[in-house]
């Protein structure tokens, strides 16, 4: 009889751990689906602002694309070569 209670307790524990893991997995996509709104200044205006609402995943993608664009512009502005700060050179 004691073995049955121990087995039942083990099953309940495993079921609760499994349920908690499933809830956590479902919560992760919810973070990416949550809308995040930001107010940004309009180009060419001192007072006009625009409200932009995107999901967390969309904000990350926008950030990655923006950084990539800036890196490409900086590379092309330097003649396609990486700019290195050489403090030892001088004369």
**Residue 25 falls inside a structural domain:** no
Q: Are 36 and 58 in contact (CB under 8 A)?
A: no
User: What average pLDDT does range 58-81 have in this prediction?
Assistant: 87
User: Residue 55 and residue 33: Cα distance in Å, rounded?
Assistant: 5
Q: Is the pTM of this model over 0.75?
A: no
DSSP state of 82: -
The answer as to whether 69 is a domain residue is yes
Q: Give the list of residues 6+ apart from residue 81 with CB closer than 8 angstroms, or none.
A: 75
Whether 17 maps to a domain, the answer reads: no
| pLDDT tens column, 24-38 | 556 666 677 889 999
- The answer to the question of residue 66 being in a domain is yes
Domain range enclosing 55:
33-78
**What is the count of structural domains for the chain?**
1
Tokens 């512009």, residue located: 73
């Amino acid at each position: 009889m004691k073995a049955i209670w121990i087995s039942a307790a083990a099953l309940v524990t495993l079921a609760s751990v499994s349920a908690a893991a499933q809830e956590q997995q479902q919560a992760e996509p919810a973070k990416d689906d949550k809308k995040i709104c930001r107010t940004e200044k309009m180009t060419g205006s001192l007072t006009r602002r625009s409200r932009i609402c995107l999901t967390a995943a969309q904000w990350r993608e926008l950030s990655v694309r923006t950084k990539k664009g800036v890196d490409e512009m900086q590379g092309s502005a330097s003649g396609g070569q990486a700019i290195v700060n050489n403090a030892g050179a001088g004369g």
